[in-house]
Amino acid sequence: FSIETKLSKALERGEFVLFYQPRIDIASLRVVGMEALLRWQQPDEGFVMPGEFIPMAEENGLILPIGDWVLQEACRQTAAWHAADLPPLVVSINLSTVQFRHRLLADRLAQVLADTGIDPSLIELELTESVLMEDTKLSAFLLSRIKDLGLKVAIDDFGTGYSSFSYLKRFALNTLKIDTSFVSDLNKDPGDEAIVSAMIALAHQLGLQVVAEGVEETHQLDFLRSRGCDEAQGYLFSRPVAAADFEQWVRDRE
Ligand code: G
Ligand code: G
Ligand code: MN
Ligand code: NA
């Protein structure tokens, strides 16, 4: 079978699952949200990671129905956790460029909000720097429509692509996510320390929240705290895990 057939069958058979990775408020060390990360659970072969099928789904258009499922499922799960008395958690959801630029995105988002009854301020859409930087004028317009619906927007993998600081100001963004590659060598690489410090200061001056990704070690967290970084995400706290495991992890921590 072609990969296209396999992916659409996987969707029909319910083989996609969302894993969740906590976002931690650095000052209080409390969990404040989670990133939804897609996995394909093949019956015999275990989990397929998104890097192995999302690029193909983007090429053949299946990212639209798959992305719809991700939106619906992440919002349904978040609303369910609210109803089940978990602390108020913001869910961040990755959007590919095809989804972001689809003319019906705003309608689909409005539909998911209506279907799940979720408070829009509990949803943050993650867009990579490179997605935003292609056709910046259109991006600015699309971001403002998302903002009008009451959703939050994060710029993901910040610093890895080809960005201009002026767009941090021009785009309607809430959050800047510092890419893992700048976090991994903190305390070994003074250059990375300088870059991370500058990113945090710049983002704060522009009124953005800052999340550091790929936090694996205590010294990295200490450095980020000393620079006033708002949130951390990474293996130091938890790997991305299945929904039931995430819920248990949150309850054990509270
Ligand atoms: O942990 P991980 O291997 O899950 O994530 C790898 C990459 O796949 C990340 O860069 C992430 O942005 C992307 N990704 C994960 N889940 C989704 C999703 O639901 N939609 C899209 N478009 N990308 C995703
Ligand atoms: O969407 P984005 O590219 O930001 O996805 C985050 C990616 O980083 C996922 O593939 C996720 O599994 C991975 N990740 C999450 N925490 C850590 C970590 O502490 N270290 C490393 N190396 N990767 C991480
Ligand atoms: Mn992401
Ligand atoms: Na990232």
Alpha helical stretches, state H, the chain = 3-12, 50-60, 63-83, 97-100, 105-116, 129-133, 136-148, 165-170, 180-183, 190-205, 218-226, 243-253
Question: What is the spatial distance between Cα 45 and Cα 198, in angstroms, rounded to a whole number?
Answer: 44
Question: What is the spatial distance between Cα 181 and Cα 212, in angstroms, rounded to a whole number?
Answer: 10
Structural domain harbouring 50 = 3-253
216 in contact with ligand 2, CB cutoff 6 A: yes
Q: Whose CA is nearest to atom 15 of ligand 1?
A: 37
**pLDDT reading at 252 higher than 90:** yes
Mean pLDDT of the chain: 96
235 in contact with ligand 2, CB cutoff 6 A: yes
CB-proximal residues (5 Å) to ion ligand 3: 94, 126, 156
Confidence of residue 227 (pLDDT cuts 50, 70, 90): very high
Question: What is the spatial distance between Cα 195 and Cα 199, in angstroms, rounded to a whole number?
Answer: 6
Question: What is the spatial distance between Cα 181 and Cα 176, in angstroms, rounded to a whole number?
Answer: 15
Ligand 1: lining residues by beta carbon, under 6 Å: 37-38, 49-51, 54, 70, 94-96, 240
Predicted complex ipTM? 0.97
Kindly report the number of other CB atoms within 10 A of residue 196's CB atom. Answer: 23
Ligand 4 center from residue 1 Cα (angstroms)? 32
Question: pLDDT for 135-147, tens place per residue?
Answer: 999 999 999 999 9
**What CATH number should be reported for the domain holding residue 17?**
3.20.20.450
Question: pLDDT for 89-120, tens place per residue?
Answer: 999 999 999 999 999 999 999 999 999 999 99
**pLDDT reading at 77 higher than 90:** yes
Count of domains observed in the chain: 1
DSSP annotation of 167 reads H
pTM of the model: 0.97
Q: Output the pLDDT for position 162.
A: 78
Q: Whose CA is nearest to atom 16 of ligand 2?
A: 234
Ligand 4 center from residue 49 Cα (angstroms)? 15
Strands 16-25 and 241-242: antiparallel
Q: Output the pLDDT for position 221.
A: 98
Given a contact cutoff of 8 angstroms between Cβ atoms, the answer to whether 75 and 118 are in contact is yes
Given a contact cutoff of 8 angstroms between Cβ atoms, the answer to whether 54 and 37 are in contact is no
Question: What is the spatial distance between Cα 31 and Cα 206, in angstroms, rounded to a whole number?
Answer: 24
Q: Which of 165, 162, 84 is nearest to 128 (CA)?
A: 162
Mean pLDDT of 197-218: 97
Question: pLDDT for 142-196, tens place per residue?
Answer: 999 999 999 999 999 998 987 778 888 999 999 999 999 999 999 899 999 999 9
Given a contact cutoff of 8 angstroms between Cβ atoms, the answer to whether 53 and 3 are in contact is yes
Question: pLDDT for 23-36, tens place per residue?
Answer: 999 999 999 999 99
Q: Output the pLDDT for position 95.
A: 98
Write down the number of H helices and E strands in the chain. Answer: 12, 10
**pLDDT reading at 203 higher than 90:** yes
Q: In the chain, pLDDT over 70 holds for what percent of residues?
A: 100
Kindly report the number of other CB atoms within 10 A of residue 108's CB atom. Answer: 16
**pLDDT reading at 200 higher than 90:** yes
Q: Whose CA is nearest to atom 11 of ligand 2?
A: 240
